[in-house]
Amino acid sequence: MNRKFVFGMILIVVLIVFIIFYPLQFDFYEDLKAKKIADHIFIPTFFLVVLYDLFRNIKKGEKKWKAYSLDFIKGVALCAVLYFFILRSFFSSGILFVNSIFGAKEQVQMRGVITHKTDSKGSGKLIGEYELIVADKGSEYIFDSNHLAIKNYAVGDAFEVDMNMGILNLIYK
């Protein structure tokens, strides 16, 4: 194999791992909102590709439609599983990366009350589900977190934190 190809693949893998684990550096971040942004981008694009594939195959007119419909359903199911279990997290991490790196950061003062806390330890020390839902002036914010930032909070506590708002209006600290 070519050394440039191997070096390029290693660089791409390192970049993908960096983007996936990038949100772990934040104490609080809006991952659910980033996933919704990723859904608004990916799902319409996916349907356009599906419609293009259908149109292309109808125009050709030489397909065996019974076999094609079975392959089509398998392909759509595989893409859905792949997206919702793997790619959605990657895309939301990329959106959080873009949100925090590019554009002017605005300071936001979050002053509210914690209405729900999820603290589920995963298989590793840092991996798990850590989430706070904060009610602030009639709005609810869902913040993903890490085990160190969330351990000092309980339901009903006051949540007063100065946070940043990035270019995509996602709040993080």
In 3D space, the residue among 102, 100, 107, 109 whose CA is nearest the CA of residue 137 turns out to be 109
Question: CA of 118: how far to CAs of 5, 19, 154, 156, in Å?
Answer: 43, 24, 10, 13
The string of pLDDT tens digits covering residues 117-149 is: 988 876 655 566 788 889 988 889 999 988 888
User: Which pLDDT score, from 0 to 100, does residue 165 have?
Assistant: 92
The string of pLDDT tens digits covering residues 10-35 is: 999 898 888 888 887 889 999 999 99
pLDDT of 58 higher than 60: yes
**pTM attached to this predicted model:** 0.82
User: Which pLDDT score, from 0 to 100, does residue 168 have?
Assistant: 92
In 3D space, the residue among 11, 10, 148, 21 whose CA is nearest the CA of residue 97 turns out to be 21
User: Which pLDDT score, from 0 to 100, does residue 126 have?
Assistant: 56
Mean pLDDT of the chain: 87
- Tell me what the mean pLDDT of segment 67-89 comes to: 89
The string of pLDDT tens digits covering residues 40-55 is: 999 999 999 999 988 8
| Cα separation, 1 vs 10, whole angstroms | 13
